[in-house]
Chain A
Amino acid sequence: MIKLLKYLKPYTGLVIAVVVLMFIQAMTELYLPAIMSDIIDIGVASGDTNFIFKMGGIMLIIAGVGTICAIVGCYLSSKVGMSFSRDLRHKVFTKVENFSLNEFDQKGTSSLITRTTNDITQVQNVLITILKMLLRAPLMVIGGIIMAVAQDIKLSLAIIIVLVVFLTFIVFIAKKSVKLYDTMQKKLDKLNLVLRERLTGIRVIRAFNTMKFEKTRFNKANLDLTDTAIKVNKLMAILLPLLIFIMNLTIIIVFWIGAIRINEGALLVGDLMAFIQYTMGIMYALTSIIMMFALIPRASASAKRVKEVIDMQPNIMDPEQPIRLINKKGQVEFKDVSFIYQGAEKPALRHISFSAKPGEVTAIIGGTGSGKSTLVNLIPRFYDVVSGSVLIDGIDVRQMRQEDIRESIGLVPQKAVLFSGTVAENIVFGYKKATKEEMMHAAEIAQASEFISSMKKGYNAIISQGGTNISGGQKQRLSIARALIRKPSIYIFDDSFSALDFRTDAKLRQALQKEILDSTVIIVAQRVTSVMGADRIIVLDNGEMAGIGTHKELLSSCEVYREIVSSQLSEEGIA
C-alpha cells in the first residue's frame, strides 16, 4: 500500500494542502471549547452579556472558517484520490497491454483483470477514506494535546497517559481482528468454491445422484463460515462499547483531577469544561479508526497485487536498432529451435528445423502437449526461443520490431475471440485502411457473408461481449475474415476450423485457396483429414519433430504419424 503511494507524487502539493486544511479545521474545532470557556469564566462570571454575544460571533466565524477548510479539503482530496486511481489504472493497463503471453501465463488472465479493476478501486476507496477521515485522527490528537497543554500541563499528562493505553489497546485489537477478517475471507472463498463446483457440475451431480454428498459439503462450509463470522463479530462486539467506556472513564478521571486543580486555584471551571471537550474530540477521532480495520486487510492485499503487476517486466522487448523488411515474401524458417516455458521441467519444443515457403501449405499435427500451438506462437514472437532462431524472410524475429513482424502475419487462433461492437468493427479490428468492399470480400471468403446478411442489421449488427450472441462456427468465420482482410504474407490457422460444419469447412477451404495463393500458409490440426493434402506435414511428438514430409512419405517413414492415422481413420480411409 505504502509503495503505491509514490503515484501520489504529482499531487504532493495538493496532499500537503489537504493536510494543512484539515489541521486548520481540527484546530478550529478545538478552539471553540476554548472560547466557550472564556464565555463561562469571563462572561458568565462577570455577567457581561455583550462579551458573551461577541464571543458567540467569533465562535461562528471560526466554525465557518473550519467548515470552508473542510469543504475545500474534501474537494481536493476527492480530486487527488481519483487522479491517483486514474493514473494507476492507466499505468497498469498500458503495462499489461505490453506484456507478452509469458506474463499472462504467469499471472493468469482473470487475475490480471481483477488487478486492473477491482483491486485498484479497492485501493482508491481506501485512499480517499484516509484522506477524508482517517487523516483527521492524528491531527486531532496533536491539536488536542497542544490545546490541552496550553491550558494545564498536569491535567494534560493524565490525558496523554490514557491516550497511550488507548492506542496500545487499538493496536492489539487491530492485529487480532485483521487476522480474523482474513480467515473469514478464506472461509467465504471456500463456500464459493463448493457452490461453484455445484453449479458447474449440476448434470454430473444429478446423474450420479450425489445430492446428499454435496449437501454435506455445503453444510460444512456454511457452518464453518458462520462460526468464524460469529467469532469476528463477537470480538468486534466488545470493541466499540469498550472504547466508549474507556473514553467515559477518562472523562471521569479528568473531572476528578480537574476538581482538585480547581480547588487549588490552578484551573478555572470553563477550562475544565473545555478540557472535557478536547478529550471527547480526540477520542471520537480515534474511534473512527476502528472502521478501517475491516477495510485495511482487503486494501493492502489489493495494493500488493497491483504492485506486482507494475513491477513485472515484459521479457520481450523490441531491439534498439530494428531491421525493417522492405519486400515481404513471408518465408518462415525455424533453425534448430528449442523452447521451454518458464518454470516448466521439460522443454516444450526441441531442435525444430523446417522452412515454410510462400505459395505452400505447411501443416503441423500431433496430440495435445506435443507443442503445436507453442510452435506457431514463436512466429509472431509471442515467446522468445531458448536456443536456435526463428527467421522471417531470412531475418531473426528478435531483430525486428514486434509491430513489423505481426503486420505480415494473419493468425486465426484456436478459440475465436470477438469483441463487443459491430460485425464490421470486428472484421476490420484496427485495420483502418480497409475499405468497405475489402471487408465484405473478406467476409465472403470466410463464408460469413451469408449469416451476416441474415442478421437484422447486417454488418452493423452488434456482437455482445465475448460473442455470446452468435454460434461457435460463426465466431470462427468472423475470426478468419479478420485475418483475411489484412492480406498478410503469412497465414497461421491454429486449429481454426474445428467449430465449422463439414460443408462450410469444404467451401471455406475452396474459397481460401484462391485468396491465399502467394502466401505462406501454416495449418495446425488435430485430425489427419485436414492435413493430408498439405505440401509438407510436420509431425510433432512430445516437442520433437517425429517426421516431416507429405502424407504418403510419412505413412511409410513415420511411426508416430501412422499411429495417429490409424487411431483416426479406418483402414479404407487411409488409402
Chain B
Amino acid sequence: MNLILASLAVLLAGSTLCLLVPPGGKRAGILGPAIAVLGSVLGIVPALDAMVGAATWQASLPWVIPAGSLAVGMDALSGFFAFVILTVSALAAVYGHAYLSRTGTARRVSASWFMFNVLVGSMLLVVVARNAVLFLLAWELMSLASFFLVMFDGEKREVRRAGWIYLAATHFGTAFLLVLFGLLGIRSGTFDFSGFSALRPEPVFAGAAFILAVIGFGTKAGLVPLHVWLPEAHPAAPSHVSAVMSGVMIKTGIYGLLRFSTFLGAPMPWWGWTLMGAGVLSGLLGILSALAQRDMKRLLAFSSVENMGIVAMGLGFGFLGISRGSFALAFLGFAGALMHVFNHAVFKSLLFMGAGSVLHAAGTVQLDRLGGLSKSMPVTACAFMVGAAAICGLPPLNGFLGEFLLYRASLGAIAGSGAFAGMEGAGLVLLVSLAMVGGLAVACFTKVMGVVFLGEPRDGTAAQAHECPMAMRLPMMVLAAICLLAGISAVLLPGFVEPAVRCVVSGPDAVALAALSLPEGVFSWTAGAGATVLLAAAALYLLRNALLSRRRVDSAVTWDCGYAAPASRMQYTSSSFSAPIVRQFHAVVRTDTTATRLSGLFPSGASFSSEARDVWREHFYAPLFKLFTAMSARARGLQHGRLNLYILYIVLALVALLAWKLR
C-alpha cells in the first residue's frame, strides 16, 4: 500500500519538478523520464502482488476533496491494470527520453514531461480510486494530460484538429460518466465504491446505468461508433505518448466498465449482446479501416480499435455467460479479454515505438514512401516483426494466449455440453468474428511489415534511414522479449489473470470453475510447441549459416523480377497490396481512387492514387455535427455583439425573477 501511494506521490508531485528546470534544456529530458521510471518501478511490485491476489487493501486517506473522500484501494483487478500501466509507461518514458531529445522541438520538452508524469500518475489513480468523485477527478486529469500531450506539435494544423476532436470526444464520454456517477450516488447516498457495491439495483436502473457506462467508458476504449477520436489523436501525438495512450490509456475504459459492472448486480443477456455487438463492429471495421490506411501510425490506431473490439467481445461473452448461469464460459470470456488487454498493451506500445523509430529515422510514416528499412534498422525491424506477429495472434507469442482463451470459450459454447451449455449462438458469433478479424489482421500486418521493412526504399529519405539510439532500441527489445516470454511461459499466465477475473465473476465455487475452464495442459502444450518452433527456427538459421559458410554469397536487389532495370516503383504499394481485400468490403470501407487511364500505342503519363475514407465520420458524425451547427446557428441571433441588448437580457432576467418571486 505504501509503495503504491509513494509511486503516486512521486509521479504527481515529481511532475511539478519538471516545470522547475529550464523548459528546453537537457535536464528536463532526463528528469522527466527519471521520475516516470522511478514512480513506475515503485508501483510495479505491489501491483504485481495485488494482481496475483496476494495483497489487497483499502484505505481512506485523511484528506478532503469536495463531495468525495480520498478512498483508495487495491484488489486483483486494480493490480492487473496498474501493472500493465506502470510497465508500459516506464518503458515508454525511456523511449521518450531519446525520442523527444532528437525531434528538434526542444522548447516544450519540460512541459511535455510534466504532462506525461501527470498522465501516468492519473492513470494509476484511476485504477486505485475507490470513490466516484476521486475517480472522476483522476479520469479528467488523465484526459486533460493526454490532450496536452497530443498537442505537443500544436503548431501543425492537423495536430490541433486532432487534439480538439479528442478533447470533444473525451468530454462527451465524461458527460455520460457524470450522469452514471450521479445516479449511483443518489441511489446509494454516498460516492464511495463500498456504498455502490452494497447497492442492489432493480433491472431498469441497472440497465440504464449499464448503457451509460458503455457509452462513457466505451468512448475512452474506442469502441465503434465512439472511436472517431482514436485514429486522429494517436497518430498526432509523439510516438511514446501514442504508445502509452494506445497501449494503456484506452484500457482504463475497459477497467471502468469492469469495475462498474460489479456495482450493477446480475447482468442481463442484452448487456452481453450489446457489448458483443459493439465488439464485433469494432473488430471488423477497425481492422478493415486499418487495412486501407496508408499512414503507419493511423493504421496502428485503427488496429487498436480492432483489438479493443476483441476485448469487448470477450467481455460481452463473459456477461452473457454470467446471465445464462454458465460461469465456466463467463470465466473464459473475461480471462480472454483481460489476457488480451495485457497482450495488446505490450505489442501495441511496441508497434507504436517501432513506428516512432521509423518516423525518427526516415522522417515519415507514410507507407508509400518507406521500404527496405530492415537493412538499415535491423533491431527496429526485428522488434516490429515480433510485435506484428504477436498482434496477429500467432502461437509462440503472447497475442495467441488471449485469443486462444476466447476461441476455446466459443468452441466450448458451440459444443454446448455440460458446463458450457446454453450459449451456442453467442459462441458461433464469437468464433466467426474472431476468425475473420484474425485473418484480416494477418493481412494488415503483413502489409505493414512488407511495405515498410522489406523490399527497396521508395524514397530518398527512406534510403538514408539509420538505426535509432540505444534508449529507443532498448524498450522495444524489452517489449519484444515480453511478447516472446509471455507466449512461452503460457503455463503461468492464467494464474495471472485468474484473481482479476474473480473480482468480476463470483461463481458458486470459483476454485472448481478455474480448474474446469483453464485447461493447463493445453497451455503447456502450446508453450512447448512455441519453444519447439523457436528452437527449430534457430536450428535452421544455424544450419543455413553452416551450409553457406564456405560458399560465395551474392546479394542483389530485392525486386529484380528478371527486368533489366528494376526500380523501386515496381514494388507493391500499401494500397495495391490491400486492394483485393478492401474492395470486397466496399460497403463499409470506402476508398477514393483517381486514375488517368493509358491511351494510345505509346502512352505517356499515367497516375493512380487512392485514399481511404472514414465512413463513420463522413456519414454519421459529419451530418450529426452539421445538424448541431445549424441548430446553434439559430441561437447566434442572440449573440449580436450589442452591449446594450446584452444588458437588456440581464435586466429582463432579473425583472422576471423578481416578478416571479413577488407574484
Do A and B come from the same complex? no
Report A's interface with B, CB cutoff 8 A: none
Interface residues in chain B, defined as those with a beta carbon under 8 Å from any beta carbon in chain A: none
